[in-house]
Amino acid sequence: MSATDHLVIFDTTLRDGEQSPGASMTLEEKVRIATNLEKMKVDVIEAGFAAASPGDFDAIQAIAQTVKDSTICSLARATDGDLERAAGALKGANRARIHTFIATSPIHMKYKLLMEPDQVVERAVHAVKTARSYVDDVEFSCEDAGRSEVDFLCRIIEKAIDAGATTINIPDTVGYAIPEQFGDLIKQLLNRIPNADKAIFSVHCHNDLGLAVANSLAAVSAGARQVECTINGLGERAGNASLEEIVMAVRTRPDLFSVSTQLDTRLIVPTSRLVSSVTGFPVQPNKAIVGANAFAHEAGIHQDGVLKHRETYEIMKAEDVGWHTNRMVLGKHSGRNALKARLEELGYVIGDEHQLMNVFGRFKDLADRKHEIFDEDLHALLSESGPKT
């Protein structure tokens, strides 16, 4: 492993993200999002599940014909019909991937598939070989790997790689894993599967316990080299691992992760806003990286620190993820220095300490009545009796 292994970013906003109840998107909206993801230099875009509906097929086809730099992927169950639909939708793509999957956990095999483990292995091998007859880039997923037996995973994955799978994905389908244990699972698979070096190992974590990003990062530390994720963490139930958090975590902590991505992170916030407006799912204000408060400071001590040196309270630059700048919110917790800095930006000259204390006292009175003090409030305060520009 080199010091800077490439971490493949596989975005599934248009497939798993769209499975979020209420998040359906039109073909045009999907093409717009895919074009943004391509500009951001996302490696793989899972554009949909071709066999799911004619609309999904058409959207994958449109994206495959529009996007040229990213690999375009369609999901397919391990059936001939699904694989044929996926291949059909991907025709014309510059780089095409078929992502086929079958469940491997005892509960899924017994109650959902009604299949014996041997039959599941046989079906997986057949599906991977069939997918390879259409495209060279084939991903195989062990659905519900987070609750599957390690011995069985080793067995089916070894056979899938022999059959031609180039990426092996380990989904924590129901968000059941805990970081230490999930990292250990990836380590065991990489160590025990004799042909593991012939494929890239990937993870796909759901957020039912709020651990999707933590589990994905534990897997990266253990050797996974593809992460499946979505913009804003959109996805089934509690969502998927959030792309922006994964990408910024590995970028902000190169001391911990020996991987890098090729993403233009300045497109993160615009893409987050696009996905939010298309789906109608607002981004919570305190959401990491893309929430409105992610780079906002209200507390006086923090504002004073940031004004002296931004790294006192910021571990990333707002501009690096696509915000115009960080933000000082003026409210009842704010201090004199932040108020003075904002007044100066607005063109007021605060002559001396006495004057500042006078304005600051009236500012605090107002802040007790209002949550946030805006520029218009400051102009009104200053016009009462304060200093002039």
Residue 75 CB, nearest approach to ligand KIV (Å) = 6
- Residue 211: exposed, middle, or buried by beta-carbon count in 10 A (0-12, 13-18, 19+)? buried
Q: 204: annotated binding-site residue?
A: yes
Partner that binds at residue 152, options ligand KIV, Zn ion, none, CB closer than 5 to 8 Å by kind: none
Partner that binds at residue 143, options ligand KIV, Zn ion, none, CB closer than 5 to 8 Å by kind: ligand KIV
304 binds Zn ion (CB under 5 A): no
Q: Which position among 16, 43, 143, 172 is part of the footprint of Zn ion (CB under 5 A)? A: 16
Residue 73 vs 381, nearer CB to ligand KIV = 73
Measured CA to CA, the distance from residue 364 to residue 87 in angstroms comes to: 64
Q: In 25-48, which positions are buried (b, 16+ CB within 10 angstroms) versus exposed (e)?
A: bebebbbbbbbbbbebebbbbbbb
Nearest to 130 by CA among 75, 71, 94, 87: 87
DSSP string of 333-345, one letter each residue: T--HHHHHHHHHH
Residue 11 vs 143, nearer CB to ligand KIV = 143
137 binds Zn ion (CB under 5 A): no
Measured CA to CA, the distance from residue 157 to residue 171 in angstroms comes to: 13
Q: 206: annotated binding-site residue?
A: yes
Q: Give the list of residues 6+ apart from residue 21 with CB closer than 8 angstroms, or none.
A: none
What 3-state class would DSSP assign to 317?
coil
Partner that binds at residue 202, options Zn ion, ligand KIV, none, CB closer than 5 to 8 Å by kind: none
Partner that binds at residue 85, options ligand KIV, Zn ion, none, CB closer than 5 to 8 Å by kind: none
Residue 347 CB, nearest approach to ligand KIV (Å) = 54
At position 300, the amino acid (one-letter code) is G
Partner that binds at residue 48, options Zn ion, ligand KIV, none, CB closer than 5 to 8 Å by kind: none
Q: 240: annotated binding-site residue?
A: yes
Residue 236 CB, nearest approach to Zn ion (Å) = 6
Q: Which helix (H) or strand (E) holds 297?
A: strand 296-297
Residue 204 vs 302, nearer CB to ligand KIV = 204
Alpha helices by DSSP H, listed for the chain, are 27-39, 54-66, 80-90, 106-107, 117-134, 150-163, 179-192, 212-222, 243-252, 268-279, 300-308, 336-345, 353-369, 375-385
Would you tell me which residues interact with ligand KIV (CB under 6 A)? Answer: 16, 75, 101, 141, 143, 169, 171, 173, 204, 206
Residue 59 vs 241, nearer CB to ligand KIV = 241
Residue 59 CB, nearest approach to ligand KIV (Å) = 17
Measured CA to CA, the distance from residue 266 to residue 279 in angstroms comes to: 21
Residue 185 vs 339, nearer CB to ligand KIV = 185
The residue number with the shortest CB distance to Zn ion is: 16
Binding site for Zn ion (CB under 5 A): 16
